[in-house]
Amino acid sequence: MAEKLTDKTFQFELVSPERILASEEASMVIVPGGEGEFGVLADHAPMLSSLRPGVVSVTSPAGEVKRIFVSGGFVDVTGALCSVLAEEAVNLNDLDRASLEEKLKDLEDDIGFAKDDHAKASHIQKNIDIVRAKLAALAQAA
């Protein structure tokens, strides 16, 4: 991200079911699409994609990069607007490795107990995947 590809900016939005988390100008956004990460610049072709748990990085026009972890969702890209719909979004800096590892351990214990209950097990598995993705995102950032 050292060199700027384009000077044009576009509007980036991060929306959770409870409120709008962010709405700002961006020169580039990288999102973890369902079929691989992709970058969005201004005047990107209109596109709808699902997201897997991962990191959205937003480059502001000034060149600052903000990394936000999302637990999955959707992204809607039009030329002038990139809106990410995510159920959970946390700033990567707010994640804490130690507490996440503890949570992962707890969840792994839970899944052992919930073997017979299929619905519960799959729910826990989903949570485990999210925590793992958070840890992976942290490891990558470090």
Indicate whether 61 belongs to the interface with another protein (CB under 8 A).
Answer: no
Q: Site residues for another protein, window 80-119 (CB under 8 A)? A: 83, 85, 87, 119
In three-state form (DSSP H/G/I as H, E/B as E, the rest C), the secondary structure along 81-116 is EEEEEECCEEEHHHCCHHHHHHHHHHHHHHHHHCCC
Q: Which of 47, 65, 80, 136 binds another protein (CB under 8 A)?
A: 47
Q: Which helix (H) or strand (E) holds 66?
A: strand 65-70
Integer Cα distance of 106 and 22 in angstroms: 31
Q: Beta strand 81-86 with 10-15: parallel, antiparallel or unpaired?
A: parallel
Q: Which of 3, 17, 98, 115 binds another protein (CB under 8 A)?
A: 17
Decide: is 50 part of the binding site for another protein (CB under 8 A): yes
Contact call for residue 125 and another protein (CB under 8 A): no
Q: Which residues bind another protein (CB under 8 A)?
A: 15-20, 33-35, 45-50, 73-74, 76, 83, 85, 87, 119, 123
